[in-house]
Structure formats: C-alpha cells, structure tokens
Amino acid sequence: MAEPEFTATGVRIGKRLRSLTRAGQVRISDGRLELLTSYGSEIDSAPLRAVRASRPWFAPEDRALADLDGNRYLLTLGQHDPAPGEPGPPAARRFIEAVRRAAGRGA
C-alpha cells in the first residue's frame, strides 16, 4: 500500500444537519478519498474522479464540502495549518488543493 497523499485527523464530518463523527479522518490514497470515523470504520469512499471538493458559501474558513458520488459531506478542518509537530487537522484550503491535485485537475 502506498503512502497516503493527504491525511487529516480530528475532522468533524457531517451530512446535512447530522454529525457523523467529531474526530474523524480524511485520507487520500491510491486514487481514492476515504472518510473514516475516529475508530477507523469507513463512512464513505470514492475514486477521486467522482469527488468534488469546494468551500461552502458564507461559511467559516475551516469548512469544506466533499461530494462523493452524489453524497455531500461537510468537513470541519482547521482554520490554519498546525505548527510542525503539533496535532490538529490541516486547513480546509489544503484539503481542497490535495483533492484537485490528486485527481489531476490542478490546484
């Protein structure tokens, strides 16, 4: 198995008004985006060609939308990248760039 291209932990993952996990994981690896619970159980996954990532309108900087095969998830990542060696999720902007880069759509 290859090294993940992007990994974030401590991510709040929600679908519509329902929170699925408050400390989930987001991983881009082997051409797939995976949304996982804090225990490592899969919430959803899809090949990157079927994933769209964007920033929602009128939302704080720490939020990103991920559309996986028609299922839309609201991800709450960090507002700023954590300092090197510090825990915490990376910025939402970095997640969106990673999805676009991994899917070959440019950044």
Only one residue has tokens 């070959």, namely: 104
Task: Please provide residue 78's backbone torsions phi and psi, each rounded to the nearest 5 degrees.
Answer: -85, 155
Tell me the pLDDT of the chain (107 aa) as tens digits.
Answer: 566 788 988 999 999 889 999 999 999 999 999 999 999 999 999 999 999 999 998 888 889 999 999 999 999 997 667 777 776 667 888 999 999 998 886 55
Task: Please provide residue 33's backbone torsions phi and psi, each rounded to the nearest 5 degrees.
Answer: -105, 130
DSSP, residue by residue, 84-100: TT--SPPBHHHHHHHHH
Distance CA 81, CA 22 (A): 18
Q: What is the pLDDT of residue 1?
A: 52
Task: Give SS3 for 11.
Answer: strand
Q: What is the pTM of this model?
A: 0.85
